[in-house]
Amino acid sequence: MQYANILKDAFSSLKYGSTWLYAVAFLIAMTIYYVLYFAIIFGTVINPLVLLLIIPLQILLILAMIFIAARIVLKALKIFGLPTAAFDIVKFLKLFLLSIVVAVISILSLIIIIGIPGWIVSILLGSPADMLVQVILFIVWSIVVAYLALRFFLYMAIFISKDIGIIGALKESWNVTKGNILSIIVAHILFFIVLFVLMIVLSVIAGILFFIVTIITAIISAAIGDLTIAFILVGLLYLILILVMSVIWGALVVVQTYFQVAIYRDLLGGRSSPQTQSEIQKPQASRAQKPAAQKPISQSGKSQISGLRSSRMP
């Protein structure tokens, strides 16, 4: 696996304007979703009628985030020279169902590995043994979920790149990642190391900017003599910095999506999928079957042919 090329292609997405637009859109949708989510969790919203309005809105926000992710994958596939299938409303709804299937697989693994065995152990052995077994089962479940995540993490790229069904996308992801788990893990480790270093640099820059803002505020408050204006300026500057850092964080989420598509391209062996290669080979085969074009006859050849014809004439 060409790790350097994968990382380069993933972070090169930051130069595209669409990356920042998708980052802002994803950030807005996710922020609204979690505001509503925590409002429900902490009991801020109690009115049943309001809940009936919030839950459909959350579903719409989930659909919006999946749509944004799909558009990012579609853009990455085109940039990396990979094929793309027609992406219409039917394809999008199938993608939504596919995302639900992946989530259900994770939940079922939790029930099968932790829920049922833990319930049996708690009945047979009692609470002390149950706690120990639950910890062991949780570790086993974490390993299984991580393994399944690595085998299925290409499902969206495959589903969008091909005219394929839900089960077909999962099977294709399983087949493409077969025998490449170690390489995929190494690629993810390298990616998150680069991401971690980048986040440290951004955090240092943000800290310096916050310090500069504090100094400027102190100077302004001393010059004006009005703390209210100073506090308002500090609040506005802090808000701008937080928004900028949030957009950068959203852009790094987009980079992670490009990273996944770059791995998919690498596992296919280059910039084109097997389907594209077969389409390229078809015209080559048809050209090979065509009879070779006759070379133009030279002037001496023409005179020899006319002499033969004249000699055969009575």
Is residue 212 over pLDDT 60? yes
pLDDT for residue 129: 58
pLDDT for residue 97: 93
Average pLDDT over residues 267-279: 53
Average pLDDT over residues 168-178: 93
Most confident of 118-132, 262-276, 279-293: 262-276
Return the HEC string of the chain. Answer: CCHHHHHHHHHHHHHCHHHHHHHHHHHHHHHHHHHHHHHHHCCCCCCHHHHHHHHHHHHHHHHHHHHHHHHHHHHHHHHCCCCCCCCCHHHHHHHHHHHHHHHHHHHHHHHHHHHHHHHHHHHHCCHHHHHHHHHHHHHHHHHHHHHHHHHHCCHHHHHHHCCCCHHHHHHHHHHHCCCCHHHHHHHHHHHHHHHHHHHHHHHHHHHHHHHHHHHHHHHHHHHHCCHHHHHHHHHHHHHHHHHHHHHHHHHHHHHHHHHHHHHHHHHCCCCCCHHHHHHHHHHHHHHHHCCCCCCCCCHHHHHHHHHHHHHHCC
pLDDT tens digits, residue range 279-314? 333 444 444 444 444 444 445 444 444 443 444 444
- Judged by average pLDDT, the poorest of 98-107, 176-185, 191-200, 257-266 is 98-107
Is residue 7 over pLDDT 70? yes
Q: Structure pTM?
A: 0.74
Q: Which is more confident, 48 or 255? A: 255
Most confident of 7-11, 272-276, 287-291, 302-306: 7-11
pLDDT for residue 249: 85
Per-residue confidence band for 223, with pLDDT thresholds at 50, 70 and 90: confident
pLDDT tens digits, residue range 59-89? 899 999 999 999 999 999 999 999 999 899 9
pLDDT for residue 309: 44
